[in-house]
Amino acid sequence: MARILITEDERLIAEDLKWALQDHGHKIVGIVASGEEAIKMAFETKPEIIFMDISLDGSINGIDAAKAIQKKIDVYIVFCSAFSDNITRLKASALNPMGYVTKPFEFAEIEQILERDFPPHPGGNGTNRMRTQPDFHNEKIS
């Protein structure tokens, strides 16, 4: 089970993602809609993973918010965005994200990233706390 912060300015997408992640055993520590809120919430809740939209409410985009957060806390980032152009992907990849999915996406894409890339947490007992049996669904999140 991972502690996850969702940063998404489209409320319906955020709620769909929240329910899908909770149904798969993850704990949602918060949902925010702006880069400023993401930074504040990340520092307060110390999530293990942040699902980060790139285009957000406010003056700080998702890439800049992720950069500011990673300077202070060790956290995995999964970018979820409607932007799939090479420049945006290049800027996001500079942060070494756990993954990048383009909206609309199937929840199975998210779950595959979590199953494949979420290593044991530093300081843990060496075992992956994620579920060992994948449970993929074709839940459309758009």
pLDDT tens for each residue of 54-110: 999 999 999 999 999 999 999 999 999 888 888 998 999 999 999 999 888 888 888
Pairwise pLDDT comparison (121 vs 74), residue with the higher score: 74
**Side-chain-facing half-sphere of 86: CA atoms under 13 Å:** 0
The pLDDT assigned to 137 comes to 36
| Count of residues in the chain | 142
**Taking the chain, what is the end-to-end CA distance rounded to the nearest angstrom?**
24
Residues contacting residue 37 through CB under 8 Å, at least 6 positions apart: 7, 58
Domain boundaries, the chain: 3-141
- What does the pLDDT read at residue 117? 61
Determine the angle formed by the axes of helices 62-72 and 35-45, rounding to 10 degrees.
Answer: 20
Please state which of the four CATH numbers 3.40.50.10490, 3.30.930.10, 3.60.110.10, 3.40.50.2300 is assigned to the domain occupying 3-141.
3.40.50.2300
Task: Please report the pLDDT score of residue 118 as a whole number.
Answer: 61
Cβ(15)–Cβ(41) below 8 Å: no
| Among the ranges given (25-39, 86-100, 109-123), the one the predictor scored with the smallest mean pLDDT | 109-123
The pair of structure tokens assigned to 126 is 């060496």
CA distance readout (Å), 9 to 4, 37, 123: 16, 11, 33
The 76-81 sheet, strands edge to edge = 27-32, 3-7, 49-52, 76-81, 99-102
**What is the mean predicted confidence (pLDDT) over 14-35?**
94
Q: Other C-beta atoms within 10 Å of 53: how many?
A: 25
What number of CA atoms fall less than 13 Å from residue 89's CA on the CB side? 9
